[in-house]
């Protein structure tokens, strides 16, 4: 697999000819709905082990190495008869293609019960776990019914382990600090919740439990730890796995309601997997920026591996983008869009997709019919590849996608080219 960035005037036919592959293979791999609509700057995955490259005007070994995601030294070593300072247009360059994946990792994907079954089936081959989102706990420890049975059965049929997810989301609202406290402070409600969780796990044939409690009061930190200890003590003897989703912290004492009650060392010792929510730097009500910038993700991982066994860490991977109206006004909301929709919109509005070196993420600007300037940040094969490299660099257990409800082919093309997926059932 290699990644090609579309230039002005290029077509799928010309790109395919350049790499010596069929147009159909590129169209199929990237699931291009209209191959004639390519945006300048769009990343296209070229399937197969591409081993040669034909030099075009203006290219250097440095730019070729960067475009293929290989080191300059390895490219020079693979072409001993070539003078790096005197490349010729039309010259054939050998590209060193890694013959082995970087390793075998766990891959989790969150899905809402309303996911298209076609999307689900297309995604399951790349997953270890399917986390069905979510059972929203009630103050008395009871749980609502959700339509998760089709997802559980489909996942198990594909050899993917289904995980039950519980959240402190108030019905019809959002994450609630008070709801979490109501569970922590009422022993009867807590025991009722744990009993109900066990009942659902057993009756619906779940593999394990994932806990996603957010915005917990800082003074409830140890109460949350004790709640997780109670779950651990109850689920372990029954053979169920236990995982937890945690905020992306860069230090143990990071201030803020989202961070303070999430105790990395305690949680890391209790659970099988810690899912780090390494996204939402660019978010709905914030200024325009990358959703999951590599430089910020690195800061989180650099702290996390000092507090949590690194093999337990699943790095969060977003599967969406945002469209902001500029200038940013506090309280205004960005529009969420899928990664594929972001590229299609770029073509439609005539925007050239740029790539930010610091955050390792694509973006573009355009003006709408009212003359307002917009900025769009999303993910493509390049940004996905850049973050997936961190799994190997930090020795992590794997990744977790939020969410898999929309199908981004490049997520799975890149993942499949870099890692094997571990299966537990």
Which residues are annotated as catalytic? 214
Q: What share of the chain is helix, strand, coil (3-state, %, to 5)?
A: 35, 20, 40
Q: What's phi and psi for 308, nearest 5 deg?
A: -130, 140
Q: How far apart are CA 92 and CA 81, in angstroms?
A: 11
Contact 288, 326 (CB under 8 A): yes
Instruction: Report which DSSP code applies to 148.
Output: -
Q: How many CB atoms lie within 10 A of CB 216?
A: 26
Confirm if 411 and 319 have CB atoms less than 8 A apart: yes
- What's the rounded Cα separation, in Å, for the pair 5 and 10? 10
SS3 260: coil
Measured between its terminal Cα atoms, the distance across the chain in Å is 28
Q: What is the DSSP string of 16-71?
A: HHHHT--HHHHHHHHT-S-TT---TT-EEEE-S---EEE--TT--HHHHHHHHT--
Helix, strand or coil for residue 193?
helix
Length of the chain: 425
Sign of the dihedral defined by the CA atoms of residues 39, 45, 47, 53, in that order: positive
């Amino acid at each position: 697999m290699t990644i090609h960035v579309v230039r002005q005037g290029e077509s799928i036919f010309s790109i395919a000819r350049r790499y010596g592959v069929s147009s159909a293979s590129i169209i199929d791999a990237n699931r291009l709905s209209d191959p004639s609509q390519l945006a300048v700057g769009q990343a296209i995955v070229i399937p197969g082990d591409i081993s040669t490259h034909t030099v075009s005007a203006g290219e250097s070994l440095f730019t070729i190495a960067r475009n293929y995601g290989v080191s300059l030294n390895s490219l020079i070593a693979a072409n001993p008869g070539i003078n790096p300072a005197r490349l010729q247009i039309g010259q054939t360059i050998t590209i060193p293609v890694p013959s082995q994946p970087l390793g075998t990792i766990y891959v989790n994907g969150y899905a809402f019960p309303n996911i298209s079954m076609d999307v689900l089936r297309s995604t399951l081959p790349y997953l270890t776990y399917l986390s069905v989102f979510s059972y929203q706990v009630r103050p008395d420890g009871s749980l609502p019914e959700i339509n998760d049975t089709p997802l559980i059965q489909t996942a198990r049929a594909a050899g993917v382990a289904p995980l039950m997810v519980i959240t402190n989301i108030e019905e019809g609202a959002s994450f609630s600090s008070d709801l979490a406290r109501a569970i922590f402070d009422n022993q009867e409600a807590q025991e009722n919740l744990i009993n109900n969780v066990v009942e659902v796990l057993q009756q619906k044939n779940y593999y394990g439990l994932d806990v996603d409690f957010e915005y917990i009061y800082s003074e409830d930190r140890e109460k949350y730890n004790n709640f997780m200890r109670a779950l651990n003590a109850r689920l372990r003897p029954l053979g169920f796995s236990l995982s937890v989703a945690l905020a992306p912290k860069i230090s143990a004492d990071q201030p803020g309601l989202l961070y303070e009650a999430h105790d990395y060392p305690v949680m890391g010792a209790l659970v099988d997997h810690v899912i780090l929510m390494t996204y939402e730097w660019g978010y709905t009500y914030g200024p325009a920026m990358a959703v999951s910038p590599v430089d910020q993700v690195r800061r989180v991982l650099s702290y996390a591996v000092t507090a949590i066994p690194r093999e337990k860490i699943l790095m969060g991977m977003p599967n969406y983008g945002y469209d902001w109206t500029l200038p940013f006004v506090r309280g205004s909301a960005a529009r969420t869009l899928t990664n594929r929709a972001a590229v299609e919109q770029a073509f439609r509005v005539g925007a050239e997709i740029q790539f930010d070196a610091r955050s390792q993420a694509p973006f573009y600007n355009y003006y709408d019919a009212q003359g307002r300037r917009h900025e769009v940040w999303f993910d493509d094969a390049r940004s996905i590849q850049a973050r997936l490299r961190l799994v190997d660099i930090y020795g992590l257990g794997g990744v977790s996608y939020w969410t898999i409800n929309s199908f981004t082919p490049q997520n799975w093309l890149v993942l499949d080219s870099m890692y094997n997926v571990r299966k537990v059932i």
